[in-house]
Structure 1
Amino acid sequence: MPTNSNQTYEIIEVCLLAGKIMLESGAETGRVEDTMTRIAASFGIEDAHSYVTPTGIIFSADGMAPAKLIRISERTTDLRKVTLVNSISRNISGGQVSLDEAYTALKNIEKRNLMYPIWVQIAAASISSGCFLIMFQGVWQDFVPAMIAGGLGFSCLLYFHYLVQIKFFAEFSASFIIGFISFLFIQMGIGHELDKIIIGSVMPLVPGLLITNAVRDLMSGHLVSGISKGADAFLTASAIGSGIAVVLSFLN
């Protein structure tokens, strides 16, 4: 059991750091709250409470210490970090990791960049674009055009995200480029079915994890998080659709 306020504050810091890493890495709200509560209980705080939204975490230890709030400004998809934090949480519950060791391990996870290299992400997006085209019953002659359009579009998505920190601008621009390149393939006689090429190429841009987490949060009763994530996914999908619509409006 925690014996003084300083130890309680340290436990709060560990819980908040674990929740912050998970939320920034794409974990759903229920998993974040459950992990924070389990860590606190493992260190002797049985009545901890947490309130998690996509943009912030509020955590209260025992009703005596002041509640703490941290702001979540950036969210990506890095399920490896979620898995590592879950592993640390299980080790804490099993009594295998001390408070200081847990904090150090979480800090190391926060600093590490576990994302795949950029070229691997682009290659995966390119190959998956061609595979999505076949899945949507496209012809094999359009496999390579879909790969090229999807790879270039995903490259532009990463570049615009790095260049301009404006939400939905990168998705709109990337889908616009995909639509333009797909139209060029059709005009050059290399592509055959414009709609299938576009559909396959934009699939790597679709916020699949965000949609899944929104549904899971709503089913778990986390209405604020579920609705906000659903709105985020809807706006992202709208940006993708708008970019394609602009191309088709001007070029057809």
Structure 2
Amino acid sequence: MVKVDKTILLDTCLLAGRIMIEGGSEMYRVEDTMNRIVRNAGQSEPLIFTTATGIIIGLKNQPYVQLSQVSARNIDMEKVAGVNQLSRQFAEGKITLTQMRKSLIHLDKNTPYFPLPLQVLGAAVVSATLMVIFAQQYDWMDIPLAAVAGSLGYLVNYYVGRATKIRFMSEMLGAFIVGLTALIGVRLGLGREIDNVIIGAVMPLVPGVAITNSIRDMLAGHLLSGMARGMEAILSACAIGVGIAIIFRFF
């Protein structure tokens, strides 16, 4: 077994864990990946503590402990899949620890994203199709309006999220635009049921993955992370509700 630098090993594990948490991975998956990296590097009994806002890792009976802060959390399965792929390559001996660390740094800074027009198109498709599912009827006037409202809401959410550091503001303003677009469209005769339009158009903003992951974390025994993520998802849902409520209250 090739001797590895324990400082580089822990730094690589922290980097992998942080990228996975920022990408929306469950905590038990993060810990499992970090454990595998340590064990495949020839070290046994790693001590790992993960939360939604930070990671601590050390080696048992050895004076090696490092921690990393997690400041941003989003849903990006491309990052999670990339870390898992690098972990498998390291386990199979296809890459060294140093190569893995360099690849993780590159992944962290150069994660590929779908172009914004394609994301907006996806939001439109999701809004239209989920409106049909929730409304349980095909209303060919409401479907285009739901697609337009969902697209505009997603765009506002995207740009506000990039422009401000205030959490949940982007969801609230995105939902407000969804409700305003639906209201104007119905009043202009471009749609019939404002409730159906809003239900479909707001779906791209709903934190469904975050809610699911919080429940999975709690079922896996990560109560602290599960409750933190659950509260974050609830606050996002409340922000969306406030944005829609403003429309019904004042318009």
Q: Distance in 2 between matches of 1:97 and 1:49?
A: 24
2:27 aligned partner: 29
Question: Residues 93-172 of structure 1: matches in 2 within 5 Å?
Answer: 93-136=91-134, 137-138=136-137, 139-172=139-172
2:76 aligned partner: 78
Q: Distance in 1 between matches of 2:76 and 2:242?
A: 27
Question: Higher mean Cα deviation, 160-169 or 129-138?
Answer: 129-138
**Counterpart amino acid of 1:53?**
T
2:203 aligned partner: 203
Q: Distance in 2 between matches of 1:162 and 1:53?
A: 24
2:224 aligned partner: 224
Q: Distance in 1 between matches of 2:178 and 2:195?
A: 11
Residues 196-228 of structure 1, C-alpha deviation per residue, up to 9 Å, x if partnerless? 000000000001110111011011000000000
Name the SS of the counterpart of 1:27 in structure 2.
coil
Name the SS of the counterpart of 2:49 in structure 1.
strand
Tell whether the 8 Å contact from 1:40 to 1:61 is kept in structure 2 after alignment.
no
Question: Higher mean Cα deviation, 209-218 or 96-105?
Answer: 96-105
Question: Residues 45-56 of structure 1: matches in 2 within 5 Å?
Answer: 45-56=43-54
Q: TM-score, normalised by structure 1?
A: 0.95
**Counterpart amino acid of 1:133?**
M
Name the SS of the counterpart of 1:46 in structure 2.
coil
Question: Post-superposition shift, 1:3?
Answer: 4.8
Q: Distance in 2 between matches of 1:221 and 1:40?
A: 22
Name the SS of the counterpart of 1:152 in structure 2.
helix
Tell whether the 8 Å contact from 1:39 to 1:92 is kept in structure 2 after alignment.
yes
Question: Higher mean Cα deviation, 224-233 or 115-124?
Answer: 115-124
Residues 70-122 of structure 1, C-alpha deviation per residue, up to 9 Å, x if partnerless? 11111122111211111111122222221111111111111213121111111
Q: Distance in 2 between matches of 1:86 and 1:3?
A: 23
Name the SS of the counterpart of 1:218 in structure 2.
helix
Residues 147-175 of structure 1, C-alpha deviation per residue, up to 9 Å, x if partnerless? 11000000000011011110011111110
**Counterpart amino acid of 2:192?**
H
Tell whether the 8 Å contact from 2:78 to 2:111 is kept in structure 1 after alignment.
no
Name the SS of the counterpart of 1:54 in structure 2.
coil
Q: Which runs of 4+ in 1 moved over 6 A?
A: none
Counterpart among 1, 10, 13 of residue 12 in structure 1: 10
Q: How many equivalent residue pairs? A: 249
Tell whether the 8 Å contact from 1:134 to 1:140 is kept in structure 2 after alignment.
no
Cα RMSD of the aligned pairs, angstroms, is 1.3
Residues 33-85 of structure 1, C-alpha deviation per residue, up to 9 Å, x if partnerless? 11001100011111101111111111112332232111111112211121111
Tell whether the 8 Å contact from 1:49 to 1:60 is kept in structure 2 after alignment.
yes
Name the SS of the counterpart of 2:202 in structure 1.
helix
Q: Distance in 1 between matches of 2:95 and 2:229?
A: 34
1:237 aligned partner: 237
Counterpart among 89, 92, 98 of residue 91 in structure 1: 89
Q: TM-score, normalised by structure 2?
A: 0.96
Runs of at least 5 residues in structure 1 that lack an aligned partner in the other structure? none
